[in-house]
Structure 1
Amino acid sequence: MKVEEIVGTQEVIAQEQKYGAHNYSPLPVVLTKGEGVYLWDIEGNRYYDFLSAYSAVNQGHCHPKIIGAMTAQASRLTLTSRAFYNDRLGDAEKFVCKFFGYDKALFMNAGSEAVETAIKLARKWGYTKKGIAANTAMILAAERNFHGRTTGIISFSTDPSSTEGFGPANPGYKVIPFNDLQALETELINHPEICAFLVEPIQGEAGVLIPEEGYLKKAHELCKKYNVKLITDEIQTGIGRTGRMLAAYYDDVHADMLIVGKALSGGVMPVSAVLCDDEIMLCIKPGEHGSTFGGNPIAAAVTIASMEVMLDEKLTENAFAMGKIFRERMSALQLKRPDLISAVRGKGLLNALDIIPDEKFGSASDVCLMLMKKGLLCKATHKHTIRFSPPLVITEAQVQECCDLIENVILSI
């Protein structure tokens, strides 16, 4: 069947609305090209990308080194499944293990797969090493968490849009308040069947919610005290996004289990991984977990190239410096419009503005639409928060230009 050429933004949107599921509500822009911090739509308009595909494109769009690694490997070998060894996976496993300081890595694809993998590992450790009675292991999670949208993960979500109409919830989870050490210790004391505490060091999807300094470190100490494993979900906050290679490093925390994804591939394909030491990883035996595409040769080659770009170009350090400039500009803007901006927060280049509802425009989504029309793409998270997370390759001149653009839009309202 010949595919008809579709030209024009509205035609493309109409086609997707007709043939695709309605599980997203994108801004009305159709993108066709990306390079560095920029995106272009099919009409030829250029935009600053201040979403980075939810922090997957930390290294910038279509980074030549990453694309080169991907295409070179694609021309040699793409997939073997894990029924056989391939000559690239071991290199990637060694690279990330040495880099992050763990004994073992288990590569998957999507971030939600890695979260499910970590849950299975934690439960298996709980039964085989901690001695928890069969089928009673419990995992703690934090309120307003976002770890994915599989039926297992939404069983501990507190977001109605993720849970309503998708029950029944799976058992084995307990949700506690985020940034509440007393609540954590109470559960650890009362429930010896807890095997793990799964937490985001910064809750990105919830609106870039940052816990008190030292929270994660003290949480880890409590987990050690009660023989529970700390699992940090750094799928969005990791790989330099917050101005540290991992957000947990702000608290000097080396989690028992680390989940990474998104920017692990520079945004060119789905790659995720769970890292932990032998005590946990070797609890799972052959046949008990796997993925056809997990750890494929292209993913392995891309992972190494993506991480090398982070190091060679000092993108973590750049994220720290550029984030400081961005927040200073946004804080100054808040002083000019306290009636419109109620909060500015973030770390590195993961930042948020809280917008006060106004009859003239409505919500944060309306501000995002105004910014889009001026050449900057971002997305609201929840009703009144705008998340700003450009690629980490952004320069100071570009940050200043984007701050000028945001300021002009805010002051025009």
Structure 2
Amino acid sequence: MSVVAEQIGGPGLEQVRRVRTEVPGPRSEELLRRQRSALPAGLGSSLPVFVTAAGGGVLVDADGNSFIDFGSGIAVTTVGNSAPRVVERASAQLDRFTHTCFLVNPYESYVEVCETLNRLAPVPGEKRTLLVNTGAEAVENAVKIARAATGRQGIVVFDHAYHGRTLLTMSMTAKNVPYKQGFGPFAAEVHRAPMAYPYRWPGGKERCAEEAADALVELLDRRLGAENVAAVVCEPVQGEGGFIVPPAGFLPAVAEICAARGILLIADEVQTGIARTGTLFACEHEGIRPDLLATAKGLGGGLPLGAVTGRAELLDAVPAGGLGGTFSGNPVACEAALGVFEEIERHDLVRRAGEIERIVLPALHAMAGRHEFVGDVRGRGAMLAVEIVRGGGDRTPDPARTAAISGRCHRDGLLTLTAGSYGNVLRFLPPLAISDALLKEGLDVLAGALAED
């Protein structure tokens, strides 16, 4: 087991893969029956087993099965499910008080989280930070701030984007089912540009960055009128859309296009931020300095917390009382976030994400070489994916095969998640606390699941 896993894996939790029952097992089946009678049908689970313990690189269910975790609660438990400084700080805060509402009585931990993000975020100039509860709230508040600061209404997003489940962020999200179907009408003044998606760009990956940038210019200058657009919102690596990494040069081109037209650039780092991609923020891979940056997921170490960090003059443009919420920046979540930053620094987890990439990416490329239905391998750091297609030169998405492979992984004790606009991407988000041994064992399970086809 690696030193990282020993130190932040959680006390007393054996770091092994172990499948004792069918998946789900009898106790989880019993709980699933209760779930079906008490919860709405629209609320489902990727791996329907009920977790009783988690930490390091494993999840233990109610039947005693221990799964290797390649999901991290969808990039939330980046530092681990039970990282000591997160648990210690949150527990101590629970002993002091659970809530006052920052809008009524402030507390120091809120300020300290904001100071930390202001220091670390790659936003130019003097900065301010607002805390909220979720990633969707962070994105929505970033849009509110952009509109207030510019006096413009238009928002441009990209194909394959995912930004959340509120009315505005649903409108900004590209995929219809399951996120939007039946929930309209949607918010006005949200416009969509083609995403630089190298594997599926019609003109080929060599022309992808330039042609996608040209398409954005066409949309801004001739179809919308740049003077009407407040912001362009972009995920540096698209998450739910399929872990799409835009080609080198595209994001800098987007930043230049926006700056030349007085349009703000909002980086949605809800899934990519907080050490996930081998830098603290994914914008840093190409030196992007957005005007506003949204974070959540990994920020709270498992507790609900999101943030908007941006140029001071932009956040200060919102009138008094225009920002905030009852639970926003809850003191327990703030203490957990401070614990997250301590764990990242103490264990050099930014470097650890790069180590995970160096272990996983070659293994995924080797699997692609053995199976023609693995059409593409991509990602950064500990945010990696394979795209599953029909194969034999046919790039048609194959969501049925993708679901079957993921199901085999679950059966054999590996938690994997799917994603993508076509439902044909297997995505891998291991916690940075995972040991090398578990990481490699998980890859062996994945290789076996692919070989069954």
TM over 0.5: yes
- In 2, distance between residues paired with 1:113 and 1:77? 24
Gaps of 5+ in 2: 1-25, 197-211, 392-397
- The answer on whether the counterparts of 1:365 and 1:379 sit within 8 Å (CA) in structure 2 is no
**Aligned in 2, Cα 1:105/1:157: closer, same or farther, shift over 3 Å?**
same
1:3 alignment counterpart: none
Task: State which of 218, 221, 244 in structure 2 corresponds to 1:186.
Answer: 218
- Report the residue type matching 1:117 in the other structure: N
Matched, 1:291 2:329: no
Query: Larger deviation: 226-235 or 360-369?
Result: 360-369
Shift in Å, 1:171: 0.7
Task: State which of 128, 131, 140 in structure 2 corresponds to 1:107.
Answer: 131
- In 1, distance between residues paired with 2:284 and 2:41? 38
- In 2, distance between residues paired with 1:35 and 1:399? 14
2:389 alignment counterpart: 356
* Cα deviation digits, residues 376-399 of structure 1 (max 9, x gap): 001111422111111012232222
What SS does the corresponding residue of 2:266 show, helix, strand or coil? strand
Matched, 1:116 2:148: no
Matched, 1:375 2:413: yes
What SS does the corresponding residue of 1:170 show, helix, strand or coil? coil
- The answer on whether the counterparts of 2:56 and 2:435 sit within 8 Å (CA) in structure 1 is no
- Report the residue type matching 2:427 in the other structure: R
**Aligned in 2, Cα 1:52/1:363: closer, same or farther, shift over 3 Å?**
same
Shift in Å, 1:254: 1.4
- Report the residue type matching 1:187 in the other structure: L
Shift in Å, 1:369: 1.2
- In 2, distance between residues paired with 1:254 and 1:235? 16
- The answer on whether the counterparts of 2:236 and 2:269 sit within 8 Å (CA) in structure 1 is yes
* Cα deviation digits, residues 73-124 of structure 1 (max 9, x gap): 1110221111222232212211221122551100000111111110100000
- The answer on whether the counterparts of 2:162 and 2:172 sit within 8 Å (CA) in structure 1 is no
1:230 alignment counterpart: 265
1:365 alignment counterpart: 403
Shift in Å, 1:23: 2.0
Shift in Å, 1:402: 1.5
Shift in Å, 1:147: 0.4
- In 2, distance between residues paired with 1:296 and 1:401? 38
- The answer on whether the counterparts of 2:121 and 2:281 sit within 8 Å (CA) in structure 1 is no
- In 1, distance between residues paired with 2:85 and 2:354? 23
- Report the residue type matching 2:401 in the other structure: S
Shift in Å, 1:412: 3.0
* Cα deviation digits, residues 281-324 of structure 1 (max 9, x gap): 00112221211111222222111111121121111111112112
- In 1, distance between residues paired with 2:289 and 2:329? 24
- In 2, distance between residues paired with 1:361 and 1:115? 29
- Report the residue type matching 2:142 in the other structure: A
- Report the residue type matching 1:123 in the other structure: R
What SS does the corresponding residue of 2:63 show, helix, strand or coil? coil
1:209 alignment counterpart: 244
- Provide the alpha-carbon RMSD of the alignment: 1.8
- The answer on whether the counterparts of 2:56 and 2:82 sit within 8 Å (CA) in structure 1 is yes
Task: State which of 76, 96, 120 in structure 1 corresponds to 2:117.
Answer: 96
Shift in Å, 1:361: 10
Matched, 1:23 2:42: yes
1:143 alignment counterpart: 159
1:408 alignment counterpart: 448
- Report the residue type matching 1:150 in the other structure: T
What SS does the corresponding residue of 2:96 show, helix, strand or coil? coil
- Report the residue type matching 1:105 in the other structure: T
2:309 alignment counterpart: 275
- The answer on whether the counterparts of 1:189 and 1:226 sit within 8 Å (CA) in structure 2 is no
Task: State which of 256, 281, 290 in structure 1 corresponds to 2:291.
Answer: 256
What SS does the corresponding residue of 2:129 show, helix, strand or coil? strand
- In 1, distance between residues paired with 2:65 and 2:129? 42
- Counterpart mapping for 1:23-42 below 5 A: 23-26=42-45, 27-42=47-62
2:7 alignment counterpart: none
* Cα deviation digits, residues 29-65 of structure 1 (max 9, x gap): 2222101111001000101110111101100111111
- The answer on whether the counterparts of 2:236 and 2:282 sit within 8 Å (CA) in structure 1 is yes
- The answer on whether the counterparts of 1:322 and 1:395 sit within 8 Å (CA) in structure 2 is no
**Aligned in 2, Cα 1:361/1:274: closer, same or farther, shift over 3 Å?**
closer
Matched, 1:50 2:85: no
* Cα deviation digits, residues 209-265 of structure 1 (max 9, x gap): 110112111111111100111000000011111111111111101111000011001
- The answer on whether the counterparts of 1:33 and 1:39 sit within 8 Å (CA) in structure 2 is yes
Gaps of 5+ in 1: 1-6
What SS does the corresponding residue of 1:8 show, helix, strand or coil? helix
- In 1, distance between residues paired with 2:220 and 2:430? 38
Matched, 1:332 2:356: no
- Report the residue type matching 1:391 in the other structure: P
Overall identity of the aligned pairs, in %: 28
* Cα deviation digits, residues 270-291 of structure 1 (max 9, x gap): 0000001211000112221211
Query: How many residues were matched structurally?
Result: 397
* Cα deviation digits, residues 116-175 of structure 1 (max 9, x gap): 110100000111xxxx4xxxx101111111000111111233211122211111111111
- In 1, distance between residues paired with 2:418 and 2:336? 30
- In 2, distance between residues paired with 1:75 and 1:317? 34
